[in-house]
Structure 1
Amino acid sequence: MKGPLFYSKILLFGEYGIIKDSKGLSIPYNFYKGALKSDKVLSETAKRSNENLRRFITYLESVDTSLVTFDIESFKKHVDTGMYFDSSIPQGYGVGSSGALVAAIYDKYAHDKITVLENLTRDKLLKLKTIFSAMESFFHGKSSGLDPLNSYLSIPILINSKDNIEATGIPAQQSEGKGAVFLLDSGSVGETAPMVSIFMEKMKQEGFRNMIKNQFIKHTDACVDDFLKGDIKSLFHNTKKLSKIVLNHFKPMIPEQFHKLWKTGIETNDYYLKLCGSGGGGYILGFTQDIEKARRTLSGHKLEVVYNF
């Protein structure tokens, strides 16, 4: 059994902000992917995935049936005969490894599923997001449902607010362009749940709440608008502001060895770094107007270009 492929995603803008109703923009990243597969003899990795799916079945049996129901019998049978999620998506890297798995399970086992081919109204998108949020909470404790949504639809998603999301188009890439969005490998795995806990704890402080509302969300929203309009000058102006705010207020989410690199980017304007997902490890997202200059300043680090301006 070789299921359809589900891709990783990148939340370009909106990390943490979307929890508090900022805008967000999520795009599929086809470099990494996963699919459901079955083998008679399982490798150690496949065995772990198979056991994980078994636990996931138990969890799905407790999901509100008015929201979604699954063909649990077939799911159990397939897991018993060696099904696992065969994936190249790195776990704990902020690129949606659990999102792709959730999308694959919904696609294969959900009853009355909303398909990619139908007219995706805002109501249908919100229903899918709610279903995926309930499903993915098994992995993170609390999930927005956006990662699986992106992986399932494989199109860019614009988040206007919690209850207002839409499929969107993004400006075509300039393959010859010097500007780029890139991923920087921190070399360590990040855990979502502890990072979200730190954020929620910080939100209890009035000063932090005001900063989120008056600075962080303001520049996040501006970045989303700039990116969609293709206003590169304004985009880099706002990304620099965002990078500064994150360095000043989200230090625990930035792996320590990257604090200096983060600051260097802001001081030299060679690149600006921001969180990719919840942070704490995994990938860091970078924006540069000159990718070769960024590579030189960040020599010794692995850069993966995901989008060219």
Structure 2
Amino acid sequence: MKGPLFYSKILLFGEYGIIKDSKGLSIPYSFYNGALKNDGNASEAALNSNQSLKRFASYLKDIDQDLVRFDIDKLTDDVNAGMYFDSSIPQGYGVGSSGALVAAIYDQYAFDKITVLENLTREKLLKLKQIFSAMESFFHGKSSGLDPLNSYLSIPILINSKDNIEATGIPAQQSDGKGAVFLIDSGIIGETAPMVSLFMENMKQEGFRNMLKNQFIKHTDACVDDFLKGDIKSLFKNTKQLSKIVLNHFKPMIPQQFHELWKKGIDTNAYYLKLCGSGGGGYILGFTEDFEKAKKALSAHKLEVVYNF
């Protein structure tokens, strides 16, 4: 048995803000992917994945039946026969490793599933998001459901607010464009749950809440609008502001050795960095109007281009 491939995702804008109803924009990233397999692989990774799937299967037994029903018997049989999730998606990197797994399990074992081929109304998207949120909570304690949604549908998703999401088109990439969105590997695995609880702790302070509403969300929303409209000039102005706000108010989410590089980008305008997912490690997202210039400035790091302007 080999299931279909599910891709990783990148939340271009909206990390943390979407918890408090900012806009967000999430795109599939096909460089990494994963699939369910049952081919007798006895490697350590396959065995660990199989153990994790056993725990996940028993968690899904107790999921709200009114929300989603699974063929638990078939899932249990497959897991007992050695099924695992074969994935190239790095874990703890903010590119949706658990999201792809959740999408694969839903695709294979859910009864009455909403399929990608249907006319995806807002109601259906919200229902899927709700199902995926309940499923992915097994991995993160609290999940928006957006990562699996992106992975399952494999199309860009625009988050207008918690209850208003839609599939969207993004401007076509310019293969010869100088500008780029890129990933930097921090070399550290990030843990989502502690970062989110730190954020929730900060939310108890009025000053932090005001900053989030009046600065962070304002510039996040503007970045999403600029990106979708293809207004590059305004996009970089707002991304610079966002990068500053994150450096000033989300420092614990930025790995220590990147604080200087982060500031250097803002000071020189060679690139602007932002969190990719919850931070604390994993990937860092970069935006630049001149990729060659950014590459020189960040020559000690390996950059992966995600999108060309």
Please give the range of the TM-score, normalised by the shorter of the 2 chains: over 0.9
1:219-261 C-alpha deviation (Å, 9 max, x unpaired)? 0000000000000000000000000000000000000000000
The residue type equivalent to 2:291 in the other structure is I
Partner of 1:116: 116
What CA distance in whole angstroms lies between the structure 1 residues aligned with 2:272 and 2:115? Answer: 38
CA distance in structure 2 between the aligned counterparts of 1:60 and 1:77, rounded to whole angstroms: 14
Q: Deviation per CA, 1:64-97: give whole Å up to 9, x if none.
A: 1100010000001111111000000000000000
Q: How is 1:230-309 mapped onto 2 (pairs within 5 angstroms)?
A: 230-309=230-309
CA deviations on 1:121-178 (whole Å, 9 max, x unpaired) are 0000000000000000000000000000000000000000000000000000000000
SS of residue paired to 2:286: strand
How does 1:1-309 map onto structure 2 within 5 Å? Answer: 1-309=1-309
Q: CA deviation at 1:42?
A: 1.4
Q: How many equivalent residue pairs?
A: 309
Q: What's the CA shift for 1:41?
A: 4.0
Name the aligned partner's letter for residue 207 of structure 2. Answer: G
Measured after TM superposition, the shift of residue 2 of structure 1 is 0.9
Where 2:165 maps in the other structure, the secondary structure is strand
Determine helix, strand or coil for the equivalent of 2:89.
coil
Aligned-partner SS, 2:25? strand
Counterpart Cα distance in 2 of 1:99 and 1:177: 31
Mapped partners of 1:141, 1:216: distance in 2: 24
Q: Specify every segment of 5 or more residues in structure 1 that has no aligned partner in the other structure, as ranges.
A: none
Q: Which runs of at least 4 in structure 1 moved beyond 2 Å after TM superposition?
A: none
Paired with 1:151 and 1:170, the residues of 2 have a C-alpha distance of 17
Unaligned 5+ runs, structure 2? none
AA aligned to 1:146 is: L
RMSD: 0.4
Equivalent AA in structure 2 for residue 278 of structure 1: S
Partner letter of residue 288 of structure 1?
A: T
Identity, % of aligned pairs? Answer: 83
CA distance in 1, matches of 2:81, 2:67: 28
Q: TM-score, normalised by structure 2?
A: 1.00
Q: TM-score, normalised by structure 1?
A: 1.00
Distance of 2:306 and 2:220 partners within structure 1: 19
- Cα deviation for residue 300 of structure 1 reads 1.1
Could you report, residue by residue, the CA deviation over 1:36-64 in whole angstroms, capped at 9, with x for unpaired residues?
00122411000000000000011001111
The alpha carbon displacement at 1:196 in A equals 0.2
Q: Secondary structure at the match of 2:64?
A: coil
